[in-house]
Amino acid sequence: MAKHWSEPVTTALRADGQNVADLDTSATPGFTGDKRRGKELLAERGQVLSDLQEKLFAHGRTGGHRSVLLVLQGMDTAGKGGIVRHVIGSVDPQGVDHASFGVPTEEELQHDFLWRIRKRLPAHGQIGVFDRSHYEDVLVVRVHELVPQSEWEPRYDLINAFEREVADTGTVIVKVAMFVSLDEQKRRLRERLERPDKYWKFNPSDISERAYWPEYQKAYQDLLARTNTEYAPWYVLPADHKWYARLAVTELLIDALSTLDLDWPPADFDVDEQLRRLDES
Ligand code: AMP
Ligand code: MG
């Protein structure tokens, strides 16, 4: 068990049919420390994550076929960007492949919804991070009826089949749904409007989207019920406390990388012989 956790983060956060609308978004499931301890721990555990990531990278460089995919979903201001900066930022950038998925381009719309996703799957040895993902195609697309139900409804099964294939070919998938309260979102949007260094994050449509909160909650509820599989589990992350969200995702990634049980790749040369040659050189 990780230090200051009463239970493994994977059980504390695993989606298990909880009601999204009733979720306490300010909770810190499983963590027994406070904010100060949480922040201290983030630095310490970031180092552990970084070491594991280097092993994964070395594995990829020496012919290994494993990788990790972190899928981040959440409403605007939920803190997806902060996870990328503060969690993913603690590992070597050459081992990370970050992809964000916005409104599809004309070209992307000419293909099936998984086309652009497949192209960004992590290479061997990489940690792929999706800031939004194929799940937008059963979230915003469903809420705004961008395609008819006859088209989005089959997507849950298509997503499961797709993720099964990704998992079976060596990628550990970790899916995190981040939830803030409607009030917390208001506070964060206000901050974006009051701070010139945050204007760039603001989009007037973020305010219009607030009117659809219940529809989004319903769409999240269904998505969690229909795509929470053993091979691609969902974690439900209360995200009002940024420090907790970052620590929890760090622990989820440590867990995912640990399940790979990687060793440092053995030398593919005779170490003694190379030492001898070095001495003589
Ligand atoms: P942001 O993450 O703040 O840059 O915003 C990206 C926007 O793209 C969000 O409003 C998403 O809902 C939207 N988006 C992402 N994927 C899709 C999709 N498949 N169809 C329509 N809108 C999407
Ligand atoms: Mg945005």
| Dist. CA 42 → ligand 1 center (Å) | 29
> How many angstroms separate the CA atoms of 143 and 115, rounded?
21
Residue 80 CA: which ligand is closest?
1
Which is the closest atom of ligand 1 to the Cα of 139?
A: 12
CB distance 79 to 177 below 8 Å: no
Which residue has the least CA distance to atom 23 on ligand 1? 103
Residue 131 CA: which ligand is closest?
1
pLDDT for the residue numbered 3: 80
SS3 150: helix
Pocket of ligand 1 (CB under 6 A): 76, 101-104, 132, 136-137, 140-141, 146
Nearest to 236 by CA among 1, 19, 6: 19
pLDDT for the residue numbered 2: 72
Burial bucket for residue 4 (CB in 10 Å: 0-12, 13-18, 19+) = middle
* Topology of the domain covering 9-280: Rossmann fold (3.40.50)
| Dist. CA 198 → ligand 1 center (Å) | 19
Which residue has the least CA distance to atom 9 on ligand 1? 102
Pocket test for ligand 1, best of 98, 109, 136, 207 (most atoms within 8 A of CB): 136
Which is the closest atom of ligand 1 to the Cα of 137?
A: 19
What's the pLDDT tens digit per position in 64-73? Answer: 999 999 999 9
Pocket test for ligand 1, best of 103, 138, 155 (most atoms within 8 A of CB): 103
> How many angstroms separate the CA atoms of 245 and 234, rounded?
15
Work out the angle between the directed axes of helices 242-260 and 35-61 (0-180°, nearest 10): 30
> How many angstroms separate the CA atoms of 179 and 13, rounded?
12
Rounded to two decimals, the pTM is 0.97
Cite the beta strand spans of the chain per DSSP E. 67-74, 96-100, 127-131, 171-179, 234-238
| Dist. CA 137 → ligand 1 center (Å) | 9
Which is the closest atom of ligand 1 to the Cα of 76?
A: 3
What single DSSP character describes residue 153? T
CB distance 76 to 185 below 8 Å: yes
pLDDT for the residue numbered 206: 95
Q: Give me the phi and psi of 202, to 5 degrees please.
A: -85, 140
Which is the closest atom of ligand 1 to the Cα of 140?
A: 12
Nearest to 245 by CA among 93, 87, 96, 17: 87
Q: What is the pLDDT along the chain (281 residues), one digit of tens a residue?
A: 678 999 999 999 999 999 999 999 999 999 999 999 999 999 999 999 999 999 999 999 999 999 999 999 999 999 999 999 999 999 999 999 999 999 999 999 999 999 999 999 999 999 999 999 999 999 999 999 999 999 999 999 999 999 999 999 999 999 999 999 999 999 999 999 999 999 999 999 999 999 999 999 999 999 999 999 999 999 999 999 999 999 999 999 999 999 999 999 999 999 999 999 999 99
| Dist. CA 4 → ligand 1 center (Å) | 36
